[in-house]
Amino acid sequence: MTGVLGKWWFLSLLICSMLLLSPTVTSYPAESDKGRKKVVHVLEDEFGAVIVQTAPGKVVTHRGGTITLPCRFHHEPENVDPSRIRIKWTKVSDEFQFQDVFVALGRQQRVFGPYRGRVELERAGPGDASVIIHNVTLQDYGRYECEVTNDMEDDTGFVNLDLEGVVFPYYPRLGRYRLNYHEAEEACKHQDAILASHSQLHKAWKDGLDWCNAGWLEDGSVQYPVAHPRDQCGRKDTPGVRNYGYRHKEDERYDAFCFTSKLNGQVYFLKRFKKVNYTEAVKACVREGAVMAKVGQLYAAWKFQLLDRCDAGWVEDGSVRYPIVNPRARCGGPDPGVRNLGFPEKKFRLYGVYCFRKDLVNSETEATQALVQSSSVFTTSTQSI
C-alpha cells in the first residue's frame, strides 16, 4: 500500500519538476498559456508507466524557419531498455485524419513523406522526444501528437505549430464566386499560399481584415470577416466572422481565403518600366533575372518586408495591385493593405510591374543531411495507423 502511494507521490513530484523544467520554446504568447497546460495522464501497472509532457500552448515560426516541437517523457522503471522505447510524431489534421511524421525505435529512425530530410530528433538528453523541423513549409501548420511507447504502455502529448503570416481573400479573373473547394485550394497554391484555417482567418479579422464576400477555408467551411459592420454584410450591428458552415465541396462556389508566410526572396516594383502591358511586364521581370510576383508573394512582402509602394503594378495572375503600409489619401484609403484594381485587359499599357527574386542563399537545410531514412522495423507500426 505504501509502495503504491509512494510511487504516486514520486510521480506527482516528477510532473511538477518537469513543468518547471519544460523545454525551451522559441516563443509562445503569454496570454495563450492560460488553460492550455497539457493534462498529463499516467498509465501505471506492474509493467511500468510512461509519462509524456509537451509544452503548454503552441510554438510559432514562419515559412523557411526551424522549430522544435517540444516533448519529454519519463518512464518507470527507469532501467527499461532504451532500444524498446518508441517515439512517434503524427500530424493530426482532424479527428479522423492522421499523417505520419517521424518514428524512432532505439537508434533507428524514419521520417515520412514531405517531412523527409527536414525532421530530426533533438536528443537533448534522456527523456527528450522533441523533434526539430527545418525549412518549415506552409503545410506544416497544424497540430502534432507526440507518442511515447515502451513495451506495454504509451502516453501522448500535443503541440500546435503556428505560423506567422498573412491571410488574403482571392478570386480569379473569372470573377466572384467561381471556385468550388478544390479550385479554391488550387487558386491559393498558384498564389504561393494555402487555404487559410479558421483560426488564421479569425486572427486576421482581429487584426482588421474586412471582406464582404464569402470564401472557402481549409476545413471546407465558408466564412467571411467583417470588421466594419454594414447592411449588406450580414448583421449590421456586430463585427465578426460570418460563417455559412460546411458547404458542398464540388457543387458550391465561393471565393477563397488564402494564407501565406515569409518569403525566401524579395518582391520589388520595377522602376525602369513604369508603364507596360502584361506581356511586356512578364518579359521585364525575366530580363532582371526575376519572375512576376504572385498575389501571395505581394501580400507576404507587404507584411514581412513592409513593402510600401503607391504604384499600381501587374502581378502574375493578371491582376493589378499595390501594397500600402502607411496609408495616405491618394493611395487608396485610410487602412493599410494591398490594393486591388482587379483584372484589366492585358493589352493596357497603364501599369508597372511587381517582380519576385529568390534569395540566392538559404542555409536552412544544412543540419538535415545526416538523417537515417527507412528501416523495416517500422513497417508494421506505421501500418497500424
Ligand X SMILES: *[C@@H]1O[C@H](CO)[C@@H](O)[C@H](O)[C@H]1NC(C)=O
> Which residues of this chain interact with ligand X, rule CB under 6 A?
135, 137, 277-280, 346-347, 362, 364-365
Q: How far is the CB of 277 from ligand X (least distance, A)?
A: 4
In the complex with ligand X, the residue whose CB is nearer, 37 or 346, is 346
Q: What DSSP string describes 326-368?
A: S--GGGTSSS-EEEE-----TT---BEEEEEEE-S---TTGGG
In the complex with ligand X, the residue whose CB is nearer, 12 or 365, is 365
Q: How far is the CB of 252 from ligand X (least distance, A)?
A: 31
Q: How far is the CB of 349 from ligand X (least distance, A)?
A: 7
Beta strands 67-69 and 97-105 are: unpaired
CB 61 within 8 A of CB 53: no
* Whole-number Å distance between alpha carbons of 295 and 202: 21
- The three-class DSSP label of residue 280 is helix
In the complex with ligand X, the residue whose CB is nearer, 277 or 375, is 277
* Whole-number Å distance between alpha carbons of 135 and 115: 10
Q: How far is the CB of 113 from ligand X (least distance, A)?
A: 12
In the complex with ligand X, the residue whose CB is nearer, 52 or 285, is 285
Contacts of 111-119 spanning 24+ positions with Cβ under 8 A = 111/371, 111/373, 112/382, 114/139, 116/371, 116/373, 117/365, 117/368, 117/369, 117/371, 118/365, 118/368, 119/89, 119/368, 119/371
CB 296 within 8 A of CB 192: yes
In the complex with ligand X, the residue whose CB is nearer, 138 or 295, is 138
Q: How far is the CB of 344 from ligand X (least distance, A)?
A: 11
Task: Give, in degrees to the nearest 5, the angle at Cα 288 between 287 and 294.
Answer: 100
Q: How far is the CB of 274 from ligand X (least distance, A)?
A: 14
In the complex with ligand X, the residue whose CB is nearer, 257 or 278, is 278
